[in-house]
Amino acid sequence: MSRTSTSGAQVEVFSFSAPVTFGIPLIAIFLQAWLPLRLSWFSVLDLPLLVTIFFAMARRNPITGLLTGTFIGLFQDALTHQALGVYGIAKTVVGYGASSLGIRIDSENPGARMLLTLVFYVVHKSVYFLIAAGLVGQSLRWDWLHEISSAVANAIFGVLLYSLLDRFKRRI
Amino acid sequence: METVLGRYRNLIVLVGILFAQVVGLAVQVKRTTETESSLLIRVWAVHAVTPLEKGLGWVQTSSSSLWRNYLYLRGVRAENRDLKQQLEQLHIEQARLKQDADQAQRLQSLLAFRQQYISETLAAQVIGSSGSDQSHSVYIDKGAHDGLKPDMAVITLDGVVGKVLRVFPYTSLVLLIDDPSSGVGVILDKARLQGVLRGTPAGEITVERVMADEQVPVGEKVLTSGGDQIFVKGLPVGTVTQVKPGAELFLSIHVRPAANLNKLEEVLVVTRKVEKQAEPGDAGPVRASDILALRLPSVPLKDAPNAGDVSAEKSPSDSGKKPIPPAKSQPSPENPPR
């Protein structure tokens, strides 16, 4: 088992097999596109974002984290009719942030995971809003109540999802 | 120098990746939609996701069809009886409407009025969505190989759904009418006011460009005006639910869509429209009373107080505005028309 040393704290670094690395983000994007048609409440959740946060926190490498975010975000952009890069930029920032924080704090703890997901959901939405409204010129509406309740829902669902995805982790 | 690069390597990569995406965005925003549609990443993404969606859609449709058509038939007999009664009522209503339509057609022919009609549609299954709250669009299981092209109208039996935005070989992306970037030329049914229907960021749809001094009642039907050259005139779009003052001396008219945009399963793509001028011959001399006489030969005159009004024996001038009695029996070969 290899460990990385940061500020005196010992944190584990994990890796994933190639099928998991590519398959899970693909399944997350597929479910995000398919399930809301059958279960409308599902659109509150952002599975690609949760997967980005999970991989970034587990790998604890900022470059890998931001690249994971970039690819997942761009792939998600490609399914919409909007310009490519809005989700890409937002998830790049989240991937970088989650992996940087993953080095410093114990991201295996469910409480920490919930808090991190909640924070990164709001960060993701804020960056998306800034880029889409400021750069692309989309008309968007920011509703704090909706965003906070969505963040809580994602945080709770995220903790459950992460414990499921933990099974695919491989210690380096 | 090496130390600085090594120390800030992560940050430099982050800034580089973000910069590349911002530049990419800026380039796309300047480009047209047609150019954008050929981007390879879009093709890859659609090809990676839509086969799964199609497969699962097929499994779902097959299993629900098996359940509905073979296993769960409770109440079908009663439903069938109710539907037959409805059909009889609709036959009468159809006869009355045909008379009105014929009259309108005669007037149109006199005015050399040209109108577009839907001549061909293609049924398609909705297999997926864009997966984003900000992009109100869905994927359907028909594409370029089925003859679909961008800007074709997409409807359901209830009303307008949207238009084909991007076409891939076996799938297409449909932009829904509740997306902020969509626009449909509409007309209010009774007020005859024209406007533009648009989606809002909150997912609602509103009619814009109607002056604030106009009277628009709640409950008014909204139809397509045909002015956008995508939807033919007269398709149902929705119903007015709220009217309030909007920006710049215009009304903000909220509309509830006729088609359920949140639960789309099957849609019709209008693949061909024809433009034709109404001809006097089209209308013909057939009156509603004649059609009813053919359809309801056995309705006894004395049983129904107004039955005499719709009988073929009466003069045509009498039959026009009288109420039509409900049907008592189905037309049959044994009861020839008088």
The burial of B116, by beta-carbon neighbours within 10 Å (0-12 exposed, 13-18 middle, 19 or more buried), is given as middle
For chain B, the structural domain boundaries read 1-30, 75-111+287-338, 184-261
Q: Is B18 on the interface with A (CB under 8 A)?
A: yes
Confidence of residue B329 (pLDDT cuts 50, 70, 90): very low
Res A139: pLDDT: 81
- Record: contact B129-A139, CB cut-off 8 A: no
In this predicted structure, which of B49-53, B65-69, B315-319 has the lowest mean pLDDT? B315-319
| B 141-180 residues inside an 8 A Cβ radius of A | 165-166, 173, 175, 179-180
B129 interfaces chain A, CB cutoff of 8 Å = yes
Nearest CA in chain B to A129: B134
A96: domain CATH number? 1.10.1760
Res B301: pLDDT: 46
Confidence of residue A1 (pLDDT cuts 50, 70, 90): very low
Residues of B in contact with A40 (CB under 8 A): 262-263
Enter the tokens of residue B162: 């949207």
What pLDDT does residue B31 have? Answer: 56
Structure tokens at B30: 């300047």
From chain B, the residues in CB contact with A30 under 8 A are: 49, 52-53
Q: Where in the sequence is the domain holding A21, given as residue range(s)? A: 3-171
- Give the per-residue pLDDT at B205: 92
Are A75 and B41 a contacting pair, CB within 8 Å? yes
ipTM for the predicted complex: 0.84
- Domain B184-261, second-level architecture: Beta Barrel (2.40)
Picking from B168, B216, B209, the residue whose alpha carbon sits closest to that of residue B185 is B209
Among B41, B53, B200, beta carbon nearest to A74 = B41
Residue of chain A with shortest Cα separation from B34 = A81
Tell me the residues of chain B between 206 and 245 that have a Cβ less than 8 Å away from chain A: none
| Contact (CB<8Å) B10/A96 | yes
Contact predicate B50/A110, CB 8 Å: no
Position B273 scores a pLDDT of 82
Residues, chain B: 338
Q: Is the pLDDT of residue B33 over 60?
A: no
Pairing between β-strand A3-6 and β-strand B137-140 as defined by DSSP bridges: unpaired
Q: Is B110 on the interface with A (CB under 8 A)?
A: no
Shortest distance between the Cα of A32 and any Cα of chain B, in A, equals 5
Query: pLDDT confidence of B1, banded at 50, 70, 90?
Result: low
Is the minimum CB–CB distance between B262 and chain A shorter than 8 Å? yes
Decide: B185 and B226 in contact? Cβ < 8 Å: yes
Which positions in chain B touch A75 (Cβ < 8 Å)?
41, 45, 48
**Does B36 lie at the interface with A, CB-CB under 8 angstroms?**
yes
Which chain A residues are Cβ-neighbours of B39 within 8 angstroms?
A: 78, 84
pLDDT of residue B334: 41
Distance of alpha carbon A156 from the chain centroid: 14
CA distance B105 to B99: 10
Least confident of A47-61, A72-86, B191-205, B298-312: B298-312
Q: How far is B82 from chain A (nearest CA, A)?
A: 30
Residues of chain B with C-beta less than 8 angstroms from the C-beta of A93: 14, 18
Beta bridge partners of B140: B126, B172
Decide which of A86 and A5 is more confident. A86
pLDDT of residue B299 exceeding 60, the answer is no
Q: State the Cα angle at A164 between A158 and A168, rounded to 5°.
A: 120
Cβ distance of A70 and B56 shorter than 8 Å: no
Q: In chain B, whose CA is at the least distance from the CA of A43? A: B133
Distance from CA of B119 to the nearest CA of A (A): 29
Question: What is the four-CA torsion angle of A57, A63, A64, A68, rounded to 10 degrees?
Answer: 90
- The beta strand positions in chain A, using DSSP E, are 3-6, 9-12, 14-15, 170-171
Amino acid in the structure at residue B17: I
The mean pLDDT value for B237-248 works out to 88
- What is the tally of structural domains in chain A? 1
Measure Cα distances from A26 to A48, A160, B135, B176 in Å: 9, 19, 19, 25
Instruction: Please state the three-class secondary structure of B298-332 as a single string.
Output: CCCCCCCCCHHHHCCCCCHHHHCCCCCCCCCCCCC
Distance CA A81, CA A85 (A): 12
A123 at interface of B, judged by CB pairs closer than 8 A: no
Question: Which residue of chain B is at minimal alpha-carbon distance from A74?
Answer: B41
Higher pLDDT, B247 or B228: B228
CB < 8 Å to B134, chain A: 80, 82, 128, 132, 138, 140
A92–B29 C-beta distance less than 8 A = no
Buried b (16+ CB within 10 A) or exposed e, B193-212: bebbbbbebebebbbbbbee
Q: Is the Cβ–Cβ distance between B10 and A96 less than 8 Å? A: yes
Minimal C-alpha gap between A30 and chain B (Å): 6
Q: Above 60 in pLDDT, residue B324?
A: no
Distances (CA, A) of B24 to A136, A138, B20, B67: 11, 17, 6, 49
Give the list of residues 6+ apart from residue A6 with CB closer than 8 angstroms, or none.
A103, A104
Cβ-in-10-Å burial (0-12, 13-18, 19+) of A77 comes to buried
pLDDT in tens, A32-53: 999 988 888 888 999 999 999 9
In whole angstroms, give the CA distance from residue B255 to residue B195: 12
Determine what percent of chain A is predicted with pLDDT higher than 70.
93
Residue B181, phi then psi, degrees to nearest 5: -90, 0
Helix H or strand E segment including B267: strand B266-277
Tell me the average pLDDT of chain B: 78
Min Cα separation B34/chain A (Å): 11
Smallest CA–CA distance from A81 into chain B, residue: B135
Span B105-125, average pLDDT:
75
More confident residue, B184 or A135: B184
* B71: amino acid identity, one letter: L
